[in-house]
Amino acid sequence: HDAGKYSPTLGFDECREAIAEMERELFGVTLDIENIIVGQSSTQLTHDLFITLANPGDKILLFDPTYANYPGQIKMALRDAKIVRQRVLDVGRWEYKSEEEMAEDFKEIYEREKPKIVLFPSPDNPSSQVFGDNFVKTIADVCHEGNSFMIIDYAYKTQCFITPPSYFSWSPSDYPNMIAVHSNSKWGRGLGRRLGWVDASPEVIDAMERVQQCSILCPDTMHQFAFMAYLKRALRNGSLKRYLEEVKEGYRKAAEVTIEAIKEYLDMPCLVPQGGLYTLMKVGEDSDEFVKRVLKNTGVLFIPGRGFGESLKEAVRISYGPHVENTDVIKEGFKRVAEYLGKS
C-alpha cells in the first residue's frame, strides 16, 4: 500500500505542491514543484548542497557569529574546503554592524577570496538578528556576478518578530543563484519531526536529486503523507496562520522577558531578538570558564559562544525557546546567576 512504498527521490509531487502553496500563502514566494526537493532534514539537505555546488578546495563564506554546525558539515562534505569568515558583530558596541558597513566588508572579502558559497541563517542562530534587505541584495548581486551561490537557512523564518524583509518572498526565478533551506522542526515546534526542503532553480534541484539518491535515497513516506495532509487542511481552514501567529507571539514574549531579566538582574550587554529563539549576552570573560562555573554553582546552563565564532569568545548564547510556557523559569534562572555573581 502507499504508506509502505518508496517516495520519489525529490519527494512526492503532492507534498511539493503543498509546500509551494504554503510558501505562497505565508510569504508570497512563487514556486513550482521543479523548484523544490524534500529531504530528511535541513541538516542533511545542507550537506547535500555542499556536495552539489562545491568542489574540494573551494571556499565557503560564513559570518561570525553563525550557526555552530556549519563548519563541521562543511568539513564532512568537503574535506579540503576553506572556510572564510566575515565579522558582522561589533563587539565593542555589542550590536550588529550597519548594513552599509557589512555590505562593504562583504564585497571586499568576496573580491579577495572568491567563495563558491555564501551561507547564513535569517533570523540568525545564535543572535536572532534579521539581516536587512540592502545587505542581502548586495550578497545576491555579487554572487550572481561571480557565479557563486547564496544559501539562506530559513529555520526560523516563521518566527520573525519584526516586519519581514522583502527577500523572504524572493523566489529562484527572481534570483537563480539563491537557494533557500527550510526545516520542518522549528516552526512546528517538533524538533524530532525530521523533514526539510530546499527551494532552488530547476538546475540545482536536478543536481541535488542525483546527490540525494546516494545520501538518503528518498525522504520518508509517512512524514510526507502527514505533512501534506496537515498543510492542505490547515491552509484551507486558516488554522496554520493562526497557529504560527500564536507560536511567534509566545516566542516574542519569552524574548521580551529574557531581555528584561538580563537588564534587571545582570545588567550585561545583550542583543534584542528580532526573531528566532536566542539572544547573545556579553559576559566579559572566557565564555567556556564562565559557563562551567555558573552551571556548577547555580544549575543554570548557558551555551559558550566560541563555537559560533571568535567574536563570541567572551559571550554566551541564551535560549528562551524551551520556556515559552513558563517564563518564570527564565526570571528565576537569571536571579540565581545574579546572586552567585554578587549582582543582586
Q: Which residue has the cell 527572481?
A: 174
Q: Which of 53-57, 59-63, 74-78, 231-235 has the highest mean pLDDT?
A: 59-63
Tally Cβ neighbours within 10 Å of residue 123: 26
Each residue of 201-221: pLDDT tens digit?
999 999 999 999 999 999 999
Q: What CA–CA distance (Å, rounded) separates 72 from 126? A: 16
Each residue of 296-340: pLDDT tens digit?
999 999 999 999 999 999 999 999 988 888 999 999 999 999 999
Q: 198, 29 in Cβ contact below 8 A?
A: no
What is the Cβ-side half-sphere exposure of residue 33, based on CA atoms within 13 angstroms? 10
Identify the band that residue 188 occupies on the pLDDT scale cut at 50, 70 and 90. Answer: low
Each residue of 245-292: pLDDT tens digit?
999 999 999 999 999 999 999 999 999 999 999 999 999 999 999 999
| Statement: residue 190 has pLDDT above 70 | no
- Single out the residue of 209, 215, 208 nearest to residue 54, CA to CA: 208
Distances (CA, A) of 160 to 183, 231, 240: 15, 20, 16
Please state the rounded mean pLDDT for residues 141-162: 96
Amino acid sitting at position 291: V
Q: What CA–CA distance (Å, rounded) separates 112 from 89? A: 21
Amino acid sitting at position 267: D
Helix (H, G, I), strand (E, B) or coil at 66: coil
Count, residues in the chain: 344
| Statement: residue 1 has pLDDT above 80 | no
- The pLDDT of residue 271 is 98
Q: What CA–CA distance (Å, rounded) separates 334 from 280? A: 14
Tally Cβ neighbours within 10 Å of residue 174: 12
| Statement: residue 90 has pLDDT above 90 | yes
Distances (CA, A) of 294 to 183, 218, 302, 304: 33, 44, 8, 11
First to last CA, the chain: 64
Over pLDDT 70: what percentage of the chain? 98
- The pLDDT of residue 194 is 76
Which numeric CATH code is attached to 241-341? 3.90.1150.10
Q: Which residue has the cell 540565581?
A: 336
**Which H/E stretch holds residue 278?**
strand 278-282
To the nearest whole number, what is the mean pLDDT of the chain? 95
**Which H/E stretch holds residue 330?**
helix 328-341
Amino acid sitting at position 225: F
C-alpha cell of 77? 562534505
Each residue of 5-57: pLDDT tens digit?
899 999 999 999 999 999 999 999 999 999 999 999 999 999 999 999 999 89
- The pLDDT of residue 74 is 96
- The pLDDT of residue 189 is 64
- The pLDDT of residue 192 is 66
Q: Which residue has the cell 579540503?
A: 80
Tally Cβ neighbours within 10 Å of residue 13: 12
Each residue of 104-135: pLDDT tens digit?
999 999 999 999 999 999 999 999 999 999 99
- Single out the residue of 219, 213, 217, 211 nearest to residue 49, CA to CA: 211
> What's the burial of 147, exposed, middle or buried (CB within 10 Å: 0-12/13-18/19+)?
exposed
Please state the rounded mean pLDDT for residues 177-205: 86
Q: What CA–CA distance (Å, rounded) separates 296 from 280? A: 21
Identify the band that residue 344 occupies on the pLDDT scale cut at 50, 70 and 90. Answer: low
What are the residue ranges spanned by the domains of the chain? 2-237, 241-341
**pTM of the complete model:** 0.96
| Statement: residue 82 has pLDDT above 70 | yes
Which numeric CATH code is attached to 2-237? 3.40.640.10
- The pLDDT of residue 39 is 97
